[in-house]
Structure 1
Amino acid sequence: MGGAAALEKLVPVLLAFGGGALLARRKTVPAEASKAFADYAFLFAVPCYLFGNIYTSDLGALFNWRAIGGYAAAAALAVLAIAVAATARGIREPRAVALRVMAGVQVNTAYFAVPVFITVFGTAAPIFPVLLFQVCVLSLVVISIMELGRAGPGTGGPGSRLGRAVGASLATPLVLACNAGILLNLLSVRVPAVVLDGAAFVGDSASPVALFALGLHLGGQGLDLRGTSREELALIAFKCLGFPLLAWVVCGALFDVPGQWLAYLVLIAAMPTPQNLFVFAQRYDVGVDLSASLVIKSSVVSLLLLPLWLHTVAS
């Protein structure tokens, strides 16, 4: 795929994202409205899209275990690299290290990867296995460290705090939708066509609404480029360049992942830091300013680099 073709594929993404940013900057639509749009996408539209598509998918083709194993190996190496680098910089607090690991390895699936894949490839199916791996493995590791390092009266013991956090993570609409689609698919349960049509109708709105919400949020927050620290630059560079390159090498050279799946995994790894990094930072009172900056700036950098990655993996 040439550079011009890659840019053409991304025109809808740029239009939805840029429209939100422009309207927020001009104060035509208040930036605070991004939360309502984001909640609609995250809690309703994206789960509807995921459920319908997983239910009707060929799970044997969808869960390519070689591809998933390669991505998991690349993610494990990335986690180790960030943890070692953070420790070398004198960061010893486990929650602070976990936050940086999440910033460099987790990807923004619901608000970024899903709409981009729908727009570029016409499907977000390759994201489903990575989404489950991210929520059921990576997120649980981060939540466990955060909860066990949490202190304060009235929060309960470590076991109860960890149990609540794990339960809340696994009970998110995204995970429930994925698991419901997989279970009904495996059991060959017939879901009425009217339900699938309704889910498809709502799910079709997930991509533009999620990108518009992200644009509104970033347009309202603005960018403070001059205040970017060296640590922020390093984490953004690793997230947007280092991790996708690592995924390319590990999945391609070590796991021999076939071409189309290799392209999917590299693009997924190139997605920005997820918005829930900021939510975690606020909840556990660690690195709040750093997390807010990383979410915004990595989103912008990832969007700018998408044509390059799309051209590279498709060539």
Structure 2
Amino acid sequence: MDGAAALEKLVPVLAAFGGGVLLARRKVVPAEASKAFADYAFLFAVPCYLFGNIYASDLGALFDWRAIGGYTAAAALAVAVLVCASAAYGVREPRAVALRVMAGVQVNTAYFAVPVFITVFGTAAPIFPVLLFQVCVLSLVVIAIMELGRAGAGAGSPGQRLRRALTASLTTPLVLACNAAILLNLVSVHVPRVALDGAAFVGDSASPVALFALGLHLGRLGLDVRGTTREELALIGFKCLAFPLLTWAVCGAVFGVRGEWLAYLVLIAAMPTPQNLFIFAQRYDVGVDLSASLVIKSSVVSLLLIPVWLQTVAS
């Protein structure tokens, strides 16, 4: 895929994202509405899309264990690099380190990867194994560190707070929809066609609405490029360049992943820092300004680099 073809694939993504930015900047649509659009996509449209597509998928092909193992190994190596780099930079407080690990390794699946994959590949199903890995492993580790480091906050003991947080993470609509689809697929339960059609109808709106919400969010906050710190540059560079390259090297050279799956994994790794980073930072009162800046700037950089990655992995 050459550069022009890759860019052509992203025209719908740019239109939805750019439309949100433009309408927010001109105050045609209130920028505060981004939360409502984002909640609709995250809590309803994306789960509907994933449920229908995973239920109808070949799970044997969807869960390519060599590919998943390669991505997990690349993520583990990336976590180790970020922990060491944070310590060298003078960041040793566990919650601050966990926040930086989340910024450099976790990816924006619901608001960014899903619409991009739908547009480019016609399906977002390959994202699901990585989504589960993020929620069931990476997010749980981050939540555990954050909860245990938040002395005296909230009701109950640290163990009770941690248990509540982990339960909330595992019972999000995204995870419940995916798990329900897998279970019904495995036990061959027939889901009525009208239900699948309804899920597809709602799910088709997930891509443009999620990107439009992200555009509204960016249009409200703006982009302060000159105020970018060295640490921000390092974390954005790691997320948008180093992590995809590391994933390519580990999955391709070490685990022997080839073809479409290698392209999927590299492109997933190239997705920006998730908006959940800002939510976590606010909830646990750590690195709030840094998190907001990383979410916005990594989204812009990723959007600019996606055509390059598409051309590279397809060559």
- Both proteins in one fold, TM over 0.5: yes
Equivalent residue, structure 2, for 1:229: 229
Equivalent residue, structure 2, for 1:276: 276
Deviation at 1:169? 0.2
Equivalent residue, structure 2, for 1:251: 251
1:241-261 CA distances to partner (integer Å, 9 max, x unpaired)? 000000000000000012110
Alignment of 1:194-213 (within 5 A): 194-213=194-213
Q: Counterpart of 1:225 in 2: which secondary structure?
A: coil
* 4+ residue segments displaced more than 3 Å: none
Equivalent residue, structure 2, for 1:117: 117
* Partners of 1:91 and 1:116 in 2: CA distance: 34
1:98-135 CA distances to partner (integer Å, 9 max, x unpaired)? 00000000000000000000001000011010000111
Structure 2, gaps ≥5 residues long: none
Paired letter, 1:203: G
Alignment of 1:80-91 (within 5 A): 80-91=80-91
Q: Counterpart of 1:27 in 2: which secondary structure?
A: coil
Structure 1, gaps ≥5 residues long: none
Paired letter, 2:220: G
* Partners of 2:63 and 2:280 in 1: CA distance: 29
The root-mean-square deviation of aligned C-alpha atoms, in Å, is 0.6
1:57-101 CA distances to partner (integer Å, 9 max, x unpaired)? 000000000000000000000000000000111111100000000
Equivalent residue, structure 2, for 1:69: 69
Q: Given that residues 154 and 161 in structure 2 are in contact (C-alpha distance below 8 angstroms), is that contact kept between their aligned partners in structure 1?
A: no
Matched, 1:140 2:144: no
Paired letter, 1:85: A
* Partners of 2:287 and 2:53 in 1: CA distance: 37
Deviation at 1:234? 0.1
TM-score for the superposition, normalised by structure 1: 0.99
* Partners of 2:28 and 2:78 in 1: CA distance: 41
Q: Given that residues 71 and 247 in structure 2 are in contact (C-alpha distance below 8 angstroms), is that contact kept between their aligned partners in structure 1?
A: yes
Q: Counterpart of 2:256 in 1: which secondary structure?
A: coil
* Partners of 1:49 and 1:239 in 2: CA distance: 26
Q: 1:56 to 1:159 in 2, by over 3 A?
A: same
Deviation at 1:176? 0.3
1:166-192 CA distances to partner (integer Å, 9 max, x unpaired)? 000000000000000000000100000
Identify which range, 218-227 or 266-275, moves more after superposition: 218-227
* Partners of 1:144 and 1:152 in 2: CA distance: 15
* Partners of 1:153 and 1:7 in 2: CA distance: 47
Paired letter, 1:265: L
Equivalent residue, structure 1, for 2:238: 238
Deviation at 1:143? 0.5
Q: Counterpart of 2:92 in 1: which secondary structure?
A: coil
Q: Counterpart of 1:286 in 2: which secondary structure?
A: coil
TM-score for the superposition, normalised by structure 2: 0.99
Deviation at 1:154? 4.3
Matched, 1:171 2:182: no
Paired letter, 1:56: A
Deviation at 1:160? 0.4
* Partners of 2:119 and 2:154 in 1: CA distance: 46
1:266-299 CA distances to partner (integer Å, 9 max, x unpaired)? 0000000000100000000000000000000000
Equivalent residue, structure 2, for 1:16: 16
Identity of paired residues, percent?
Answer: 85
Q: Counterpart of 1:123 in 2: which secondary structure?
A: coil
Deviation at 1:155? 3.1
1:19-39 CA distances to partner (integer Å, 9 max, x unpaired)? 000101111111101001000
Matched, 1:108 2:108: yes
Count of residue correspondences? 315
* Partners of 2:259 and 2:153 in 1: CA distance: 53
Alignment of 1:19-58 (within 5 A): 19-58=19-58
* Partners of 2:154 and 2:288 in 1: CA distance: 23
